[in-house]
Amino acid sequence: MRELQLYECLTTVLKPPAQTNATSPRPALITRHSLAEANARLTARILLAEDNVVNQKVAVHMLEKLGYRVDLVANGLEALEALQHTSYAVVLMDCQMPEMDGFAATSEIRRREALACQKNELERSLISTLPPVAFRHVPIIAMTADALREDRELCLSAGMDDYLSKPVQLKVLEEIIGRWVSAPASLQSASGGMG
């Protein structure tokens, strides 16, 4: 393990300046914690649910610039399908989409999470030797052009965990996703929303 940490530290220090991210300059002090955060960001996969093609391109570009892997869907139904096959660190959910909007998709995601949790508890009560299964609460960040306080409250009451107003700014995007990607899994699973 220490050899891997040494290797990661050396590659971080020796990386040419052109390859470093302009929004996240190389830290003055490199620790095993800063390396772990960088690795988590590189492996974090984000689901972007957005129907507008221009917004899709801008958001994907920003997320890739920040070092995340991005999967793109155009509506809430596609988001539900993607979540059945892949575990995402964060879902960026546009509120207004055709076929199924972000509010309805979030409601369904939360319903499925509750069912999975109930099923796990039932199985454990029937077979006491089953180990506990960690509850997986996927953080959902609302993305909407509506910037009023009431809109933010509507998103949070719908089961979304955080809120981004459009047009999205790179620094704000980085900060909000960083809250959820770097948070310990136990903190994420215990959170039903931010208020």
Convert the pLDDT of each residue in 31-80 to its tens digit. Answer: 766 666 666 555 789 999 999 999 999 999 999 999 899 999 999 999 99
Asked if the model's pLDDT at residue 185 lies above 50, the reply is: no
Which pLDDT score is estimated for 189? 40
The answer to whether residues 108 and 34 belong to one domain is no
Domain coverage including residue 102: 44-190
Q: Is there a single domain that holds both residue 64 and residue 76?
A: yes
> Which has the closest alpha carbon to 89: 168, 194, 192, 184?
184
Q: Note whether 36 and 110 are same-domain residues.
A: no
Each residue of 169-181: pLDDT tens digit?
999 999 999 999 8
Q: What is the token pair recorded at 150? A: 């009431």
- pLDDT of 104 reads 96
Which residue from 177, 193, 192, 184 is spatially nearest to 90, judged by alpha carbons? 177
Task: Provide the domain count of the chain.
Answer: 2
- The pLDDT of residue 2 is above 70: no
Q: Are residues 34 and 50 in the same domain?
A: no
DSSP string, 54-102: HHHHHHHHHHHHTT-EEEEESSHHHHHHHHHH---SEEEEESS-SSS-H
Q: Which CATH number is 156's domain given? A: 3.40.50.2300
Question: CA 39, CA 29: separation in Å to the nearest integer?
Answer: 16
